[in-house]
Amino acid sequence: MMKRSCLIDGFLLLLFLVTLSLFNQEARASLSEQIAIDSKAVSLANTVTSSPPGIMSIHYNPAGLSQLNDGQQCFISVKAMLLEISGKFEADPEFPGFLGGRYNDDPLDGKKGKTSHLRVRAPFIDEIDVPGGAIAAPIAFGFSYRKEHSPWTFANGFYPPYVGGFAHNDADDPMVYGGKALYIQHFVYLSPSFSYQFSDDFAAGLSIGIGQSALGAEFDIRAPNELVALTSELGETSSDLDIPILSQLVAPAPWFGGGINPYDPIAQVKFKIRDDFTPSYNIGMLWEPAKWFTLGLCYQSEVRAKMRGEYVAALGENFQNAISWLGSSPTTLVMAQVLGLPTESKQYEKGYCMVEFVLPRRIQAGITLRPFKSLKLMTDMHWTEGSVNKYLGVHFDQDMQVFQFIRILGYSGGSRSLVAELNMKNTLHFSYAAEFQALDWLSLRCGYEGRESSVRDDYFTLLSPFPDLHIYAAGAGVTFKNGLQIDFGGSYICNKGYKIPNNSSKQLNSTNFTDIVYNPYAGLNYEQDLEIFELGMTFTMPVSVMGQGIDRAFTLTERLIDSVTPF
CATH code at 435?
Answer: 2.40.160.60
Taking only the tens place, the pLDDT of each residue in 191-212 is 999 999 999 999 999 999 999 9
Q: How far apart are CA 415 and CA 370, in angstroms?
A: 61
Q: How far apart are CA 528 and CA 84, in angstroms?
A: 10
**Residue 408 lies inside a defined structural domain of this protein:** no
Measuring CA to CA, how many Å separate 143 from each of 207, 276, 486, 489, 550? 13, 23, 15, 20, 16
**Residue 366 lies inside a defined structural domain of this protein:** yes
- Is 23 a residue whose pLDDT tops 50? no
**Residue 316 lies inside a defined structural domain of this protein:** no
The DSSP bridge pattern shows strands 348-359 and 362-372 to be: unpaired
Domain count, the chain: 1
pLDDT tier at 85 (50, 70, 90 boundaries)? very high
As a whole number, the mean pLDDT across the chain is: 86
**Residue 407 lies inside a defined structural domain of this protein:** no
Written in H, E and C, the secondary structure of 241-254 is CCCCCHHHHCCCCC
* Range of the structural domain that residue 288 is part of: 2-87+113-225+264-302+360-389+424-564
In this structure, are residues 537 and 77 in contact, taking their beta carbons and an 8 Å threshold?
yes
**Residue 312 lies inside a defined structural domain of this protein:** no
Number of H helices, E strands in the chain: 10, 22
Measuring CA to CA, how many Å separate 364 from each of 33, 59, 465? 13, 11, 25
The predicted pLDDT at position 419 comes to: 79
pLDDT tier at 30 (50, 70, 90 boundaries)? very low
pTM for this structure?
Answer: 0.87
The predicted pLDDT at position 4 comes to: 42
The predicted pLDDT at position 9 comes to: 46
Taking only the tens place, the pLDDT of each residue in 223-250 is 898 888 988 898 888 877 777 765 666 7
The predicted pLDDT at position 567 comes to: 52
**Residue 232 lies inside a defined structural domain of this protein:** no
Q: How far apart are CA 477 and CA 437, in angstroms?
A: 9
The predicted pLDDT at position 10 comes to: 45
The predicted pLDDT at position 245 comes to: 63
The predicted pLDDT at position 562 comes to: 66
**Residue 340 lies inside a defined structural domain of this protein:** no
Measuring CA to CA, how many Å separate 352 from each of 170, 184, 367? 28, 18, 48
**Residue 352 lies inside a defined structural domain of this protein:** no
Residue of 498, 482, 492, 499 whose CA lies nearest to 539: 482
Measuring CA to CA, how many Å separate 260 from each of 232, 234, 405, 490? 5, 10, 12, 49
The predicted pLDDT at position 71 comes to: 93
